Every structure is written in structure tokens, then in C-alpha cells.
Amino acid sequence: MPRKRIHILFSPAGEIKFTKKHFFVHIKHVVQFLILLLGIYFIIRYCIKMSNFINTKDHRLRNEYLEEKEGSINYYKLLISPEAKKLPLKGDIYCFVMTTKRYHEDRMIAINNTWIRRCDHGVIYTDSNNIDKNVPFIDLFKNLPKEFNHPFWRTIIALQYSFTKISNKFNWYLKTEDDTFIIIEHLKKLLKKYDYNKGYYMEFYNEDLIKNTKDTGTSYVFSKRAMELFSKKLFKNNTLCPYNNNEREGISVCMRSIGIEKLSLSRDNKGRERFKDWDVEMGIHFKKEGKKIRNLSISKKRDRYEDFGSDILSLHHLTPSEMLTIDLFLYHIKINNNKKNG
């Protein structure tokens, strides 16, 4: 008769006995545990290699993307449209709008026909050159690797390109998105209070904008000195200016690391917002139920506009139609107060 037990361990108090079934179950568990450890080991090795790979590509992107030489990431020469080449290379404010080919037929057209024309130099950075050559554009992001197609990378590339490849002779540099309307006259007036030879930057944001700009990007103004410091000390330094999945936080870390001062100008001296994340219907009506307007007094009180400063700088998250309408009322329709002609 075969033995039913396997004696594998003895102690002074006697023997510890396991059945064959228990023995093989324990062996199975040990093997599974070793396989798990092996899997964890290879996962850790993979993550380390990927981290080094990303850091290597990060370094190469910062050092080569704007270089026009064989073997660099962006070897093919960028296309600068004829209209962009006509723009002046010095002045008060350099404006650039970042967009993609997805919005060439709507947002870009609206911007090109409205506020960007009032900048000393206003250009559109995009990822395609399939555009009417009468538009001032540069296909800056055409060869940007997919893994770097993020607002943070596009912003630092655009800043460096603007200052080092186009011109370093502007007092201020404005970066914004393709759903934003800037009132340039108000911006210039505000910036006159500050010395562009000192390191300043300003974010166009309020609490509502922060909630809605996680993926779409933020608008900024940088002084000439801030751009110079960024170009020399930050662009190629992934320690002082590391990648951040949140563009606004990332740019803030970069600027703070070298002492560039952030101007807190989101509200005027009466507490009114200078940057509005504005839904036109809700912004005017407060609440709309069908064709009825709620929360709006029948009286002539204008308190519904109390949060709009008379020197408002920007309106964000607009449709192309809204941009064109705002431009029409701001710049083309004039009120005639001459009673003699009445």
C-alpha cells in the first residue's frame, strides 16, 4: 500500500507532515509568487527605460526642434506665409495665436479678420500650411512629434521661436489661443505702467478660466526681459522648466524658478474682471428659460454689467461668430451724439 504522507520537516516536538496534495499546492503558490516578482521587476525596468527615453527626447526637442539642419527633429524648413513676412520686426507688442488645422476654416478666419490686425506684429502658429497665403501664418507645429503635442510644449516652443527666430525687438509678447478675443488698445494702455526691461509676465485668467483651460491653454503677456531670460535660462533647461501636464502650472513654475515676477492684474481697482470666460447668452441674460429672460429687472438698472470693467482686456472661449460680432460693435458701429444731426 503506497504511503499517504511525505515527511519533509522534523522538529524536537515531532514531525510536521504534509499530504502530497498540500505539497504541490504550496509549490504552485511559490512559483506564482516568483512569476509575480519577475513581472514587477520587468515593469520597473521598462518604466526606468521609458523615463530615460522621454528625458532624452525632451532634451532633443528643446535643443533641436528649432534647428534647420539635417538630422534634427524639425529638419524640414518651416513655411512662413507671404503675409507674415510683411509684418514689422520691432514695435510695442508681438502677438501670436496658437491653433491647429482643425480650426482653419472658422476660428482662424475670425481672428485674422478681427483683433490680431491691431497688434504691431500679429501671426498665427499652426500645424499645417494648407492655408490661404494672405493669412499671416507659420506652420511651426507641422513636424512636432505626437508625444509633445501638448499646450505646455507648444507654448515654450512658440515663445522661443518668436524671440530667437522672428524678433527680439518688441517690448511685449502676447501668446493666446484661437478662441480668445483681445482688446489690444486696452492691453497696450495697461502695459505702459510697467517697464518691459524688467522680468514681468501676466496670465489672463480668473477662477472660471482656470476650470476651463486644463486642455485648451492659457493666454499670457511676457516682457522683453522675461523673454530674454526664458530664452537663455529656461528653454533648454528641463530642471528649471520641467514638463507639466497642466500648462498654466508648468509656465508658472518655469517663471518662478528664475524670479520673473507675475503681475496680478485680473481685476481693476473696482474689483471688476479684466478677463472674462464669457458665454454671450448667459453673460447678458444670467438665466434663460426658453424665450424668457430670468434674473433681469424690467427697470433701467445696469447692475447686470457691474462685473464688466470698462477696460476689459480679453474674452475667452468664444465662437468665431461671437468674435466677429464683438468686433463689429466695438470698432465699426459708432454712436452719433451730435444733436445738430439728429
Q: How far is CA 213 from CA 150, 180, 204, 208, 286, in A?
A: 12, 12, 11, 9, 22
> How does strand 219-223 pair with strand 200-204?
antiparallel
- CB count within 10 Å of CB 122 equals 22
> Does residue 142 have a pLDDT over 80?
yes
Which residues, 6+ apart, have CB-to-CB distance to 227 below 8 Å? 159, 162, 163, 168, 173
Distance in angstroms (rounded) separating the CA atoms of residues 24 and 275: 70
- DSSP 8-state symbol, 18: E
pLDDT of residue 291: 53
Look up residue 196 and give its three cell numbers: 518691459
Checking if the pLDDT of 183 tops 80, the result is yes
pLDDT at 38 over 60: yes
Q: Average of pLDDT values for 77-95?
A: 95
User: Which of the listed ranges 12-26, 115-129, 275-289 does the model predict with the highest average pLDDT?
Assistant: 115-129
Mean pLDDT, residues 91-111 taken together: 96
* Contact between residue 209 and residue 277 where contact means Cβ atoms under 8 Å apart: yes
What CA–CA distance (Å, rounded) separates 211 from 341? Answer: 49
Q: Are the beta carbons of 274 and 312 closer than 8 angstroms?
A: yes
Cα dist from 126 to 37, 110, 178, whole Å: 47, 15, 10
- Report whether pLDDT(34) > 60: yes
Looking at residue 228, its pLDDT comes to 98
Cell of 57: 527626447
Cβ atoms of 315 and 276 within 8 Å: the answer is yes
Nearest to 276 by CA among 191, 201, 207, 222: 207
pLDDT value at residue 19: 56
Give the model's pLDDT for residue 276. 79
Read off the C-alpha cell for 286. 444670467
Contact 218, 154 (CB under 8 A): no
Most confident range, picked from 63-77, 110-124, 198-212: 110-124
Q: What's the pLDDT score for residue 12?
A: 52
State the number of CA atoms in the 13 A half-sphere of 77 facing the CB: 3
Identify the band that residue 342 occupies on the pLDDT scale cut at 50, 70 and 90.
very low
Confidence of residue 79 (pLDDT cuts 50, 70, 90): very high
Work out the mean pLDDT of the chain and round it to a whole number.
80
More confident: 2 or 157:
157
pLDDT of residue 71: 46
pLDDT band of 87, cuts 50, 70, 90: very high
Three cell numbers at 224? 522683453
Pairing of strands 170-177, 91-98: parallel
Q: Hey, is 142 helix, strand or coil?
A: coil
What is the model's pLDDT at position 163?
A: 97
pLDDT in tens, 189-238: 999 999 999 999 999 876 554 555 445 568 999 999 999 999 999 999 98
Q: How many CB atoms lie within 10 A of CB 223?
A: 25
The CA distance from 98 to 300, in Å, is 41
Query: pLDDT confidence of 339, banded at 50, 70, 90?
Result: low
Specify whether the CB–CB gap between 152 and 218 falls below 8 A. Answer: no
Residue 293, pLDDT > 60, answer: no
Confidence (pLDDT) at 52: 46
Whole-angstrom distance, CA of residue 204 vs CA of residue 218: 7
CA quadruple 213, 246, 182, 143: dihedral sign = negative
329 Cβ neighbours under 8 A, 6+ residues apart: none
| Main-chain phi, psi angles of 301, to 5 degrees | -60, 140
* The pLDDT of residue 338: 67
Q: Measure the CA–CA gap between 117 and 207, rounded to whole angstroms.
A: 29
Looking at the predicted structure, is the pLDDT value of residue 140 above 70?
yes
What's the confidence (pLDDT) of residue 218?
86
